[in-house]
Amino acid sequence: MARPKNFDPDAAIEQAMTVFWRQGYGATTPQQLVDSLQIGKGSLYNAFGGKRQLFDLALRRYLDLRLAAVTTRLEGPGPAKERLRTALHFLVDSYFTGPDPRGCLATNSAVEFGRADEAVAAQVRNLFDRIESAVQALLEEGQRAGEFPPGHDAAALASMLLNTVTGMNVLARIEPGPDRLRRVVDATVDLL
């Protein structure tokens, strides 16, 4: 007879997300996961299948949370330009929660895995595509409202903003605080 789980799998996935976000996939050992999640090795393998399967669940959780948080800010009330600024400032602030700057788990995973792991690449690309699409919709709305110049290609601007954000994600891994990234956000939005 199987023993009942003595832990909350959702809480374990959330904690694993934090560990992978801070350390990366390759630098995280199964023992570190077991210690951080405060579960036995058997529970790790029985509940999740192993480190890689837990990483996939943690990455999916992160991607879902990140997409929801960004699109909520982009689609909220107020002028389009300020919603964009708010969404970008949210991203900057999220990089510096806790004692260690972590950047973005999606970007970190893209850098760590590259195209060598198509499953990870596809998940991260999907997030980037969806955020870029939401930014494009906001820019088009702002163009119709006269907040952004109508002659610019909103799709190209959205791609440029995605590139800016991924660059900020990498920079956040080494910055001591959010000041430089906040300047990047403000300058970028003001240039639009």
**What is the reported pLDDT for 124?**
95
**What is the reported pLDDT for 2?**
47
**What is the reported pLDDT for 9?**
87
**What is the reported pLDDT for 161?**
97
Alpha carbon of 90 to those of 73, 115, 188: distances in Å?
Answer: 9, 28, 15
Task: Judge contact between 172 and 92, C-beta under 8 A.
Answer: yes
DSSP class per residue in 78-117? S-HHHHHHHHHHHHHHHHTSSSS----HHHHHHHHHTTSS
**What is the reported pLDDT for 7?**
74
Task: Judge contact between 36 and 44, C-beta under 8 A.
Answer: no
**Which residue ranges make up each domain of the chain?**
9-191
Question: Residue 182: how many CB atoms within 10 A of its CB?
Answer: 16
Token pair recorded at residue 27: 């630098």
Task: Judge contact between 192 and 170, C-beta under 8 A.
Answer: no
**Burial category of 103 from C-beta neighbours within 10 Å (exposed 0-12, middle 13-18, buried 19 and up):** buried
- Residue-by-residue pLDDT tens, the chain, 192 positions: 444 456 788 999 999 999 999 899 999 999 999 999 888 888 888 889 999 999 999 999 999 999 999 999 999 999 999 999 999 999 999 888 766 677 899 999 999 999 999 999 999 999 999 999 999 999 999 999 999 999 999 999 999 999 999 999 999 988 888 999 999 999 999 999
Please state the pTM of the whole predicted model: 0.89
Measured over the CA atoms of residue 135, residue 155, residue 106 and residue 179, the dihedral's sign is: negative
Which residue stretches of 4-153 are H helix? Answer: 9-23, 30-37, 41-48, 51-74, 80-95, 105-113, 118-144
User: What CATH homologous superfamily does 9-191 map to?
Assistant: Tetracycline Repressor, domain 2 (1.10.357.10)
**What is the reported pLDDT for 3?**
47
Cα 126–128–131 angle (5° rounding)? 105
Rg (CA), the chain: 19
Exposure string for 154-170, b = 16+ CB within 10 A, e = fewer: beebbebbbeebbebbe
